[in-house]
Structure 1
């Protein structure tokens, strides 16, 4: 045997050993009686790509609107905090559908999978129409109460963006409900395709209306509404004509089944209340930042966009764990539910570390992309560095673990715990550190990181016990 052939043989053996070790690790931590690691990978990968695309597009969109000036980016950041507050209500109801669908999938009841997914779409549609109409009617008082201290130009841009966003709520709500049903049955590939279609449409239209035609915030509004219409139409078309698992029919969606809706709402309503009050706390925190000035708003917007990059992998896992744990609970396999939750948390920390190591060297380049004013670059760097250190340790127990508890039906506890930690730690401490003690935007972010740690401890103690999996929903 030649020296070259021996080298090739050694390399082949090394690759084989690495592959075997990888399979053994995956088998140990991601295979159980309920589901195999191959099935989990099939669920996670499309969600991971979807989250990466969503966050990268959000980053790009923020950078594009930054070209319209600090007033535009501040207005968009302000209203987006309100948008997140409202849209998460629809996502919460959709998550109720995802949990029940996943549990019915776990016990193999295809008929109830179809009925539950259909009723989730109906419920979310009604919620979104009522909510969007209310916000459009009262947009003036809402903006004055929350952001009355902002500059006039910022408020004018904010009003335009808020009303435009409201018109898009029913479209994004229906899209989210459809995607929630598909995730519940473990079909994440079509969700990825739908997400790519909607977000690519949004980005292309942003380039046309913001960069080429220089429409500023108006261009962003046109892009958002158009893209969400495309997402809604495509998602409905898919589950009506091309999906055999959910088998959605418009006529069934028009008939409300209150027995099924009660189950969906058992998960959805507490989660919706949590989202309202949790994101309401974020909104109150945003009012602190408004008092700190337009530059502080801009720094917060850019830092928030950058730290979202670190969360691409962990966010994907927090979505995937609802399907995985939900199906385990549907089979009443508590051992698997515990194992996968622990494994997902460790994997989340690994994702954080890898992402931070990859992205931090590009910080100066990212600042140029955002056209960040020189006087706030130092502040942005401190915020990003703080979150880069804290997230691998604190984020997963604080946010991924409650997703697992909620998938088991433990919605009331997770919602109450989240609300208390938000209002008594992040909001109050954020005001004390940011405004009273004068630490500014950095003080607000420090309060948020402290809140993560407290949430994580609370949910870990709950997870160690037995009450979280004793809810029987199906």
Structure 2
């Protein structure tokens, strides 16, 4: 694999990430027009959504790794079987998670966000139930896009993702901006967009794709051995995501106790921070395909070469985007209509994170993505879980609540946790254990 091929993989993923990030900004800005209670409710539920969605996205990542390694080895029939196994597994897990949360939604909201106002909780209840219904649609799209990225068809993955997200944006404009439906409009839009996206993804897989050769009955019949391969990567990553995002969810509980303004400041700062991390996030998705195919061919030297290059590119992109966007902070933050009391708080959160993420983010997120592509999922997940709970959660509570630094303390703990995790992964990269796993 040469750098032209890597660039051809990366650019569609970057465009996809740019659109998803823009979508997040637009949605946050539009729902902000419905008031602080609405944006606070959506942000709280989205922290829970991320926790749940990342479980089945983790299984989809397992499918991406297996598909990429079979593609690298040249075993095309097994590529098709891995794709079918991934779609079926992810859809099934999404259904189970959605039904479970819907059945327990009152208890979940009371446990996590009981300190919020009645108006915020009412909006949160509506959005949570609607989000759970949409999980299966999103799961199918994620599984199909993951398999397509595994074989290097990132343009097709981009096409499917854009279909779903463009529809989501258009529906939000109509339902929130013109019809003023608030959280109800956002809930309706997410369901229509995700289920329409799932239908298009399946039609593409069965009718338009010329390489995978899947049939509908393949989704209902795949070998147990294939499921084990997908779950070998997917289950540790899913457990990592549950613990990792569970920690983030717990820090959200800290923030809820700080008041509605703190929730809104966290929501807006998080939305802008995602923009700064957009190219680096695209690199972390691209490296799964690149390293996976290198490992499928047994080429460790290429894998190591690309990992180092991606780490430098990730840090460079973080620095570049911070230098471009931070001078325009006030025009950017104004689209969220924040209360005057939190504008300076958001600025300091972003400024500190913009500086610290340049050396810390890539080794903390791009590097573990590369390890998972090589089959090193258990170690990667264990480290991520331990550092999250020992540093981001505990230290976040100490700095944010005990020492009364507020939301700034919670964000400082997050950056410190990136650094600890990154050092551990860099030490792992220097050795040989990360590439000694036999997946296919």
TM-score by length of 1: 0.92
Within the candidate set 267, 272, 276, 2:233 is matched to: 267
Within the candidate set 150, 171, 184, 1:184 is matched to: 150
1:248 to partner: Cα distance: 2.1
Does structure 1 residue 236 correspond to structure 2 residue 202? yes
1:256 to partner: Cα distance: 3.9
Find the counterpart in structure 2 of residue 127 from structure 1: 93
1:192 to partner: Cα distance: 0.9
2:109·2:121 contact (CA, 8 Å) conserved in 1?
yes
Within the candidate set 120, 124, 134, 1:154 is matched to: 120
Within the candidate set 405, 411, 416, 1:445 is matched to: 411
1:245 to partner: Cα distance: 2.0
Within the candidate set 182, 200, 208, 2:174 is matched to: 208
Cα distance in 1, alignment partners of residues 106 and 420 from structure 2: 36
Within the candidate set 87, 94, 102, 2:60 is matched to: 94
Does structure 1 residue 194 correspond to structure 2 residue 164? no
Find the counterpart in structure 1 of residue 375 from structure 2: 409
1:86-114 deviations in whole A, cap 9, x for unaligned?
00011100000000100000010000000
Structure 1 residue runs of 5 or longer lacking an equivalent are: 1-34
Does structure 1 residue 72 correspond to structure 2 residue 38? yes
Find the counterpart in structure 2 of residue 251 from structure 1: 217
Within the candidate set 88, 97, 112, 2:78 is matched to: 112
2:12·2:155 contact (CA, 8 Å) conserved in 1?
yes
Structure of larger gyration radius: 1
1:43-68 deviations in whole A, cap 9, x for unaligned?
00000000011001101110000000
1:275-312 deviations in whole A, cap 9, x for unaligned?
01100000000000000000000000000000000111
1:175-196 deviations in whole A, cap 9, x for unaligned?
1000010000000001111111
Cα distance in 2, alignment partners of residues 252 and 328 from structure 1: 27
1:104·1:110 contact (CA, 8 Å) conserved in 2?
yes
1:358-410 deviations in whole A, cap 9, x for unaligned?
11121111221100110000100000001110111100000000000000000
Cα distance in 2, alignment partners of residues 432 and 245 from structure 1: 53
Partner SS for 1:370: coil
1:7-42 deviations in whole A, cap 9, x for unaligned?
xxxxxxxxxxxxxxxxxxxxxxxxxxxx01111011
Q: Which runs of 4+ in 1 moved over 6 A?
A: none
Does structure 1 residue 323 correspond to structure 2 residue 323? no
1:125 to partner: Cα distance: 1.0
Partner SS for 1:149: coil
2:81·2:222 contact (CA, 8 Å) conserved in 1?
no
Does structure 1 residue 311 correspond to structure 2 residue 274? no
Cα distance in 2, alignment partners of residues 262 and 428 from structure 1: 35
Does structure 1 residue 334 correspond to structure 2 residue 288? no
Structure 2 residue runs of 5 or longer lacking an equivalent are: none
Find the counterpart in structure 1 of residue 363 from structure 2: 397
Does structure 1 residue 462 correspond to structure 2 residue 428? yes
Cα distance in 1, alignment partners of residues 246 and 321 from structure 2: 29
TM-score by length of 2: 0.99
Aligned counterparts, 1:21-32, within 5 A: none
1:96-149 deviations in whole A, cap 9, x for unaligned?
000010000001000000000101101111111111000000000001000000
1:122·1:256 contact (CA, 8 Å) conserved in 2?
no
Which one is further off, 134-143 or 255-264?
255-264
Cα distance in 2, alignment partners of residues 124 and 266 from structure 1: 14
Does structure 1 residue 352 correspond to structure 2 residue 352? no
Find the counterpart in structure 2 of residue 4 from structure 1: none
How many corresponding residue pairs? 440
Within the candidate set 388, 391, 409, 1:422 is matched to: 388
